[in-house]
Amino acid sequence: MRLVTLTSAMRIAAQHPALLAWYVENRFRATRAAVERSRRPEFSPGPQYVTLKPTLRCNLRCGFCRFVANGDVFGGRDWMDIEDWERVIDEVAPYRPYLCLTGGEPLMYPELPRLLARIRACGLRCVLTTNGTLLERRAAELAAEPPDMLILSIDGPEAVHDSVRGKAGAFTRALAGIEALRSKAGRRMPILVLNTALTEATWQSAQDMAAVARRFGAEVLNFQHFWFLTREMVNRHNSHWGDCFPLNYERIGGTSTMVEHPDALWELVRRLNDGSLGIPVMVYPELNREQIHRYYGEPEAFTHSGTPMCAWTSTDVLPNGDVSPCFELTCGNLLEQSFGEIWNGDAFRAHRRRLTDAGPYPVCARCCAFFRRD
């Protein structure tokens, strides 16, 4: 595995030399944020990354998606004018975060190329996550203003992927989109990461993803344990924080998932990590056998201890301008206040104070942000 990873890392560094500095900078900023938090628990000098959601709409109706469950993909909370988004980017630029463009399906946002152009003009790094089905028609626009990294959500070989996505031809359209983008972008082609969620419908075909990754020309293959929110998590959360940070199970798109064979899943994870796939593989979060049993068998139990760093390092910006660091928590709106005023404003500082004093919320247990340490 080390030889495969080292060889691939050298190739990626040669093609995208700025990424090495980007990685080192992120590691340094993560360490600095932890030190700063210990000194001033309610304050953060600035975000390490900001997730921009220009739209929550999506052209697919995936069965596991909480935004399908709560109806956001059908429209609503859409969208700020492009001039407002450009101002947002200008306001966050002095903090030098990297930006994650997602949704919904971000390729449904008509002004996406202009948004990417503003990010590039400000000298910021950008990661774009997409289902790929609209890539072919927008390839020329993206090739002109490409993100630094493209994360393509592919759930398995063609039959598995189309079944999970609920759309015949979704796999073929994503592949055609990548081929179109590569032909137009040339040397400006973003680093391509294939991301596969491990669910009951997908984990048994995970080893076939190496061949899929080669077919797409991906440099990295990422497997992600499924994130879920059970009703019990929400009930526990509301019993502690319902007065200041209430959550509604239906509104946040609560879901639950169980893997019936956790030992078999653990053996799969071991095989994915042994280097035999011939491509750099990441499995996130990293869980041992005992933790996998707990993750799926005891959904409300934490597999790791510690305070989530997300409140000090990141936030989401929603289509209507809301700044939301955690589920339905809104700390301000960018149509009414500047990003700087919100980032260390009363609501954001109260959020950090709760996490500092009481530890993670019950809903943190299966949230991706709880595990992030970049």
Q: What is the DSSP string of 188-236?
A: GPPEEEEEEEE-TTTGGGGGGHHHHHHHHT-SEEEEEEPP-B-HHHHHH
Whether omega before 325 lies within 30 degrees of 0, making that bond cis, reads no
Closest CA to 372 of 25, 48, 43: 48
pLDDT, tens digit, 9 for 90 and up, residues 50-73: 999 999 888 877 767 767 666 676
- The alpha carbons of the chain give a radius of gyration, in whole angstroms, of 20
User: Is pLDDT above 80 for 45?
Assistant: yes
In this structure, are strands 98-101 and 323-324 parallel, antiparallel, or unpaired?
Answer: unpaired
Q: Residue 149 to residues 30, 118, 206, 261: CA-CA distances in angstroms? A: 20, 16, 22, 34
How many Å apart are CA 37 and CA 356, to the nearest integer?
Answer: 9
pLDDT, tens digit, 9 for 90 and up, residues 279-312: 899 999 999 999 999 999 998 999 998 888 999 9
Specify the 3-state DSSP secondary structure of 296: helix
Q: Which residues pair with 148 in a beta bridge?
A: none
Query: Cα 74 to chain center, whole Å?
Result: 21
pLDDT, tens digit, 9 for 90 and up, residues 79-100: 899 999 999 999 999 999 999 9
Q: Which two tokens mark 311?
A: 């409140």
In this structure, are strands 149-153 and 126-130 parallel, antiparallel, or unpaired?
Answer: parallel
How many C-beta atoms lie closer than 10 Å to residue 186's C-beta?
A: 8
pLDDT of residue 13: 62
User: CB–CB of 225/284 below 8 Å?
Assistant: yes
pLDDT of residue 57: 86
User: Is pLDDT above 80 for 33?
Assistant: no
In this structure, are strands 323-324 and 314-317 parallel, antiparallel, or unpaired?
Answer: antiparallel
User: Is pLDDT above 60 for 158?
Assistant: yes
Spatial strand order of the sheet with 281-284 comes to 281-284, 220-225, 191-198, 149-153, 126-130, 98-101, 49-52, 314-317, 323-324
Q: Which two tokens mark 87?
A: 């101002």
How many Å apart are CA 64 and CA 229, to the nearest integer?
Answer: 11
pLDDT, tens digit, 9 for 90 and up, residues 209-225: 999 999 999 999 999 99
Specify the 3-state DSSP secondary structure of 346: helix
Q: What confidence category does residue 1 fall into, taking pLDDT thresholds of 50, 70 and 90?
A: very low
User: Is pLDDT above 70 for 324?
Assistant: yes
Determine the average pLDDT of the residues in 151-167.
95
What is the overall mean pLDDT for the chain?
89
- pTM, full prediction: 0.91
pLDDT of residue 24: 75
Q: What confidence category does residue 106 fall into, taking pLDDT thresholds of 50, 70 and 90?
A: very high
Dihedral (C-alpha) 27, 31, 32, 37: value to the nearest 10 degrees? 140
How many Å apart are CA 63 and CA 175, to the nearest integer?
Answer: 21
How many Å apart are CA 38 and CA 287, to the nearest integer?
Answer: 27
Q: Which residues pair with 197 in a beta bridge?
A: 224
Q: What confidence category does residue 252 fall into, taking pLDDT thresholds of 50, 70 and 90?
A: confident
Q: What confidence category does residue 4 fall into, taking pLDDT thresholds of 50, 70 and 90?
A: very low
Stated as kind and residue range, the H or E segment containing 31 is helix 18-39
